[in-house]
């Protein structure tokens, strides 16, 4: 069975480990710099296995070298937002936290696929790619899948249908400039504009853009954990199981959609090698303009990194 390591045993990292355990597709190694934190969470998860019926090895460690042999390494370490702060305000601190982690991944898991969750996720996915020197198809972020999930949930709430009947697409960055094309929101294949008026569609899009901030404002001292944890598990599952599933993820681009040397959320096909294919779709002029605006924000952030 493949091994997946999750660096950072906070709420999101542990939630991701739980969802992965439920899938039963990989052995899990939780890593945290605070001694006992990863070990305790791993033991707690393992003790639930007789009740939940999962049969995978779940371990915890404060020693980063224990990521050796990982098929996938998830970076979930770093500072999280506080109320009334922006994701971009975490950039400098999380770059510093990420630097030794990136070096250790290069040293102990040089063949791993790397999935970035630390905020600001799109910019840090690019940073991780540049610092590791890995193939760009083996370094991705988790954001688009999470944002798509939120669009689907809010659409389902508005229509009174099950969320599994809803599909959507989210492009660009994981911030207020994320691009949510209404024409790609569908319920059982039916375009959303045939089911809801424009003002209600716009309300769904607005709620999805602010979903993380809304949860943060309610919880005060922590950010969302279950939905990003589930998004990590879904992304990991597509790779481990080689499903060739098409998911929206932050990906480093080299000419796709007209962008080079940057990172944007776009639809990709995921499999055993990471990104197997970047899926380029035809976008309307207004959506292309929105995507450019989103890219401009990310590019300014990348320029500030000095890499």
Residues acting as catalytic residues: 174
| Nearest Cα residue to 228 out of 212, 209, 246, 250 | 212
List all residues 6 or more positions away from 61 whose beta carbon is below 8 Å from its beta carbon: 29, 30, 31, 38, 39
Give the helix/strand (H/E) hosting 143: none
Q: DSSP state, 259? A: -
Confirm if 169 and 178 have CB atoms less than 8 A apart.
no
Confirm if 151 and 179 have CB atoms less than 8 A apart.
no
List all residues 6 or more positions away from 291 whose beta carbon is below 8 Å from its beta carbon: 171, 172, 179, 257, 264, 283
The total number of residues written for the chain in this structure: 307
On the 0-12 / 13-18 / 19+ scale of CB atoms within 10 A, 106 is middle
Question: What is the dihedral sign for C-alpha 275, 277, 280, 281?
Answer: negative
| Nearest Cα residue to 60 out of 39, 36, 75 | 39
Structure tokens given for 39: 């070990």
CA–CA separation, 50 and 47 (whole Å) = 7
């Amino acid at each position: 069975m493949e091994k997946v390591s999750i660096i950072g045993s906070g709420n999101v990292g542990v939630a991701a480990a739980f969802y992965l355990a439920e899938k039963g597709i990989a052995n899990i190694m939780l890593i945290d710099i605070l001694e006992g934190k990863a070990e305790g969470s791993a033991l707690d998860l393992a003790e639930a296995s007789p009740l939940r019926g999962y049969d995978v090895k779940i371990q915890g460690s404060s020693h980063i070298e224990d990521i050796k042999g990982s098929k996938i390494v998830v970076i979930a370490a770093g500072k999280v937002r506080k109320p009334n702060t922006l994701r971009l305000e975490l950039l400098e601190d999380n770059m510093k936290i990420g630097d030794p982690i990136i070096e250790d991944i290069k040293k102990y898991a040089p063949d791993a696929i790397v999935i970035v969750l630390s905020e600001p996720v799109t910019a840090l996915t690019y940073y991780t790619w540049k610092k590791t020197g890995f193939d760009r198809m083996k370094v991705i972020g988790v954001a688009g899948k999470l944002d798509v999930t939120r669009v689907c949930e809010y659409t389902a709430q508005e229509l009174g249908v099950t969320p599994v009947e809803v599909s959507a697409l989210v492009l660009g960055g994981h911030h207020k400039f994320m691009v949510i094309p209404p024409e790609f929101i569908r319920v059982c294949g039916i375009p959303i504009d045939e089911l809801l008026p424009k003002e209600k569609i716009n309300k769904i899009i607005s709620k999805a853009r602010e979903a993380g901030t809304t949860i943060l404002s309610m919880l005060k001292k922590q950010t969302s954990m279950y939905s990003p944890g589930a998004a990590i598990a879904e992304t990991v599952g597509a790779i481990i199981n080689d499903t060739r599933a098409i998911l929206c993820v932050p990906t480093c681009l080299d000419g796709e959609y007209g962008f080079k040397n940057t990172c944007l959320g776009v639809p990709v096909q995921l499999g055993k090698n990471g990104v197997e294919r970047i899926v380029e779709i035809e976008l309307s002029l207004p959506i292309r303009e929105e995507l450019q605006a989103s890219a401009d924000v990310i590019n300014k952030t990348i320029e500030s990194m000095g890499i």
